[in-house]
Chains A and B, each alone.
Chain A
């Protein structure tokens, strides 16, 4: 099993979510986050006050997937989250030892379904 973490533009979230649903991935954890990579902050001045956004708003998706689904999920996210501009985000993959469904204590890939 692989844990997939994707940091994406908030504006792409709905499309990414819908595309993942279409390939059969419905469970995910979504968090509103802030951060930046090469895309640095942004400053606006309004009525004499500077509003600096050092950390830009992003959406973090977290999914744990069976190995066989990982490539498909990554491709889907790449296709739907990409705008070609700096700030499109990143995908991180890490191996997961086990998963346990709390309700019935099922383990492994069965717990993911």
Chain B
């Protein structure tokens, strides 16, 4: 919006306004110069403009260019005004002209408007001078200046125009041009300072509001592929807004508190961006500030904006030159955001200060850490503690866990500490478990964003540097590659509370997805190949994974999972767009590629985030729905086809060899016998190490008929039980776990061809029995074996426990839904139960199945909050369940589960 438009000036009344839209040369022929000197002045101004441009093209700095343009405008204004006065024989008493805004600051860009305020002592003066001012404005337009003027009387300037903050902000940069100097000085020193002081809270609030709106229009990021060097975040407007905030704070040093280095960096950034803006104006021959791809290449070619001393090493490629641009933009944006975060920019009265003491923000300290949460931001309490990098990363882990961002001041302190390590640095090397503490949380983006700004992300993942501020031209992406990457992660964390309907379906998936750390690591690396000299960026990203995995010491399984996600990160999107997702063949082929439901969940979230981060419109509701349909259909395909695809051990030679190597077995025959007939999912969800462990249990079956392996993981326990099949086995194990107060989250039950059952349960110890009493672990295992073998009864164990747990009302009501499916499996009837989770649930279901003589061929048990989702493949006497039996079972389960 032009200054005049902002001020509410109606140019349609200005007869020259429309004519002025035409090129100056055409106008010269059409309009008779009103002044005699115009015939001389027009070519002089033209020549001076040409000279300034040539000097700029020859390497003059932006400051020199802007200063020269400003001097040219000042000179022309003074001359025209003086000549009009002499022609009309008038005095200038009571009338003063001043420059405002950028022109007032003497930063006049080649095609910028001249913002001028015409100040008159009173209404009469204003009326008297009206004809002269009309002529004045018209003459300047004829000289090729884009005049944007506003008129006010002295009296009018005493009032703050609440609906016109831009005018008051422009006034902050006022500068006398011509006319009655005494009037200007009265205005500048006596009239305006009072209202301006009173208006500081209003102006501060307005600067913040206008800035927030502007930054939001550009997605709150500096990393646009074709940025607007004036308006985008990191553009010159950021510098201006920061300068205004300083001015309205009364230039109180404690409020802005910048070091000399920071001031110097900001000044350098302004010079750099000013040079670009000049270049854009000259290249486009209009006030267009968009740094297009084409102009990026031209600017890089002439190493625009770089100091002459640096030209030898200056980047010549557009991508490298844009990295310099983003570095400078980041300086200005960082400064502005820090000022925006300052709470007390305006001096407060004693009364206000006393009143505000009662409302001081609450400080929550983080136990044992040198930082605290204040007013929704993490603040540093002791910067010396950051010498221990473990402390520094725990600060980021806290941000990622809580979703509370670092304050700009804390970030600034960290930047300082990283650059000036006054104390010996400890724990510099970041381990994979420490990085997982950040990646595997609810809000990883809250930590990764400042880590990227501070250069810490590239310390952990040097491969990420390849895409730092990288512009890759294409039609769809709006942001640089690193910005796109960080946005993918932020779009996932938004799913905690989806901002719009597109994310609703995916929210539950994000909540329950396993191994978020690997998903986020995959996202960080998925486009790194775009910054490498390699044709296929996916191949480049996989190379980056190789080095990152070695450096971070990822396990083979972890690396394989990340490799899968990177390698296939475009596959789901391509399937949605290029295949008929309602065709079962498409789903089957897609499921074969994905292999497991767990991989599917991660791939789906990655695809959702990847499309979403391309640009704000890329993930249309249509695409979000298609993606979800593909996910649901594939997920259902997995659970409905589990027993269709059985393992034939001889087809799995690499696995056989791996397990043989790990177990030291002499041959593979016994391993073949063990694996033969398990559902293929068994191989997909277990590593060779897991299988070797299971085989070890299998070999010990001769010594004891029930083999148990109990492992404590970070938040839960994992139980593997191997035994020969027996009636009600699943119900019995579930019953023992419930009797001991364990809450089962996941379970798998598989059988091989020889009838050996391998059940795995993941459960949490609700009462911390095993954790607080290590001796109870043995008693727990013995109890399980005794009950399974029939040496001890189950009933006394579960009696009181289940009754007590049933009395607690659920937080969320989940209606029970029981579905039978006879079509998906050739051998079994599928039973899917969705119901309210509660301790002992699996025991209840398993008991009901056992009572009706149903054999569990395969079981998949999962929970989502308080919802249990269980799928059982059932047979009765080796056949599918008859319709009558299904009905009886439904009634029995409905009666049990409610």
Contact = CB atoms under 8 A, between A and B. Distances in A.
B636 A46 contact: yes
Contacts of A46: 632, 635-636
Contacts of A34: 622
Contacts of A57: 622, 625-626
Contacts of B508: 47
A35 B647 CA distance: 42
A51 B581 CA distance: 14
A32 B620 contact: yes
Most central of B582, B819, B832, B869 by chain A CB within 10 Å: B582
Contact of A47 (B625, B629, B867): B867
Given A11-B579, A11-B580, A14-B577, A44 B629 contact: yes
B623 interface: yes
Interface in A48-104: 48, 51, 53, 56-57, 83, 87
Contacts of B579: 11
A49 to B, nearest CB: 8
A53 B627 CA distance: 13
Given A11-B578, A14-B577, A46-B635, A32 B623 contact: yes
B636 A53 contact: no
A104 B496 CA distance: 51
A32 B508 CA distance: 26
Interface of A is mostly: strand
Contacts of A32: 620, 622-623
B437 interface: no
A14 B578 CA distance: 7
Contact of A9 (B576, B580, B629, B869): B580
A47 B869 contact: yes
Most central of A32, A45, A48 by chain B CB within 10 Å: A48
A87 to B, nearest CB: 8
B834 A48 contact: yes
Nearest to B816: A48
A22 B602 CA distance: 38
B629 A53 contact: yes
B779 interface: no
A104 B133 CA distance: 39
Contacts of B391: none
Contact of A53 (B578, B620, B625, B869): B625
A10 interface: yes
Contacts of B582: 42, 56, 87
Interface string B559-594: 000000000000000001111111000000000000
Contacts of B625: 53, 57
Closest 10 CB pairs of A and B: A48-B834, A32-B622, A46-B632, A11-B580, A44-B632, A48-B817, A47-B869, A11-B579, A57-B626, A11-B578
21 contacts: A9-B580, A10-B577, A13-B578, A32-B622, A33-B622, A42-B629, A44-B633, A45-B819, A45-B832, A46-B632, A47-B508, A47-B867, A47-B869, A48-B814, A48-B817, A48-B834, A51-B505, A51-B629, A57-B622, A57-B626, A83-B580
Interface of B: 505, 508, 576-582, 620, 622-623, 625-626, 628-629, 632-633, 635-636, 814, 817, 819, 832, 834, 864, 867, 869
Given A10-B576, A45-B636, A47-B864, 12 more contacts: A10-B577, A11-B577, A14-B578, A32-B622, A32-B623, A42-B582, A46-B635, A47-B869, A48-B867, A51-B629, A53-B629, A57-B626
